């Protein structure tokens, strides 16, 4: 349903809904805390929030550097396409960060990222939203697979060298206009 929503209202509307959701998260977290506190008690609810934050810090400390190194290597090799929830390093870091953020909703989302089946489900849903939003957006953008394009450094360097030589040919005191 969410990709249909993005197709119907466009990517900008999807961004607006994400912003509304982000601004509404503190209110939802507060409501969730009150509901949990009313069920198990205020003191136990506060201890539970502190405990999940400590678990998130411990997870980030234990595997944060390894996951960050894996993520850097993947980004160096694949570019920004390497950042997706199906990659365990991204999911573990995001899950740890969500566990550190106080609140039961973010704790549930953070814990879900450590379960492979839930991680794949969230990746599929978020990927569908991103693709749907991108399709509606700019029709002048062409998405190419990594094997469908290549960077040509020699032409870029050659053009820079040509500009420098043109600038040096101009008489002193005469400014050249950029093309």
At 154-175, the pLDDT tens digits run 665 666 666 655 555 555 544 4
Answer for the pair 139, 128: CB distance below 8 angstroms, yes or no. no
Of residues 157, 90, 161, the one with CA closest to residue 119: 90
Of 92-101, 127-136, 146-155, give the range with the top mean pLDDT.
92-101
Q: Which residue has the tokens 């609810």?
A: 45
Q: In the structure encoding, which two tokens stand for residue 78, read together?
A: 């694949």
Q: What's the pLDDT band for 1 if we cut at 50, 70, 90?
A: very low
**Could you tell me the sign of the dihedral formed by the alpha carbons of 122, 127, 132, 134, in that order?**
positive
What is the C-alpha separation between 160 and 133, in angstroms, rounded? Answer: 37
Write the pLDDT tens digit of every residue in 75-108: 777 666 656 666 667 778 888 889 999 999 999 9
Answer for the pair 90, 66: CB distance below 8 angstroms, yes or no. no
Mean pLDDT of all residues belonging to the chain = 75
């Amino acid at each position: 349903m969410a990709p249909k929503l993005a197709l119907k209202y466009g990517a900008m509307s999807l961004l607006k809904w994400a912003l509304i959701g982000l601004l509404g998260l503190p209110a939802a977290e507060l409501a969730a805390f009150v509901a949990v506190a009313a069920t198990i008690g205020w003191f136990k609810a506060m201890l539970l929030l502190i405990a999940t934050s400590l678990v998130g810090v411990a997870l980030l400390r234990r595997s944060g550097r390894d996951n960050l190194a894996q993520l850097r290597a993947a980004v160096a090799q694949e570019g920004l396409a390497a950042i997706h929830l199906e990659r365990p390093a991204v999911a573990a870091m995001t899950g740890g960060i969500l566990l550190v953020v106080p609140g039961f909703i973010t704790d549930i989302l953070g814990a879900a990222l450590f379960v492979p089946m839930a991680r794949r489900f969230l990746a599929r849903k978020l990927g569908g939203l991103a693709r749907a939003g991108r399709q509606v957006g700019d029709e002048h953008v062409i998405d190419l697979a990594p094997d469908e394009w290549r960077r040509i450094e020699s032409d870029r360097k050659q053009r820079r060298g040509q500009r420098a030589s043109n600038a040096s040919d101009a008489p002193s005191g005469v400014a050249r206009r950029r093309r």
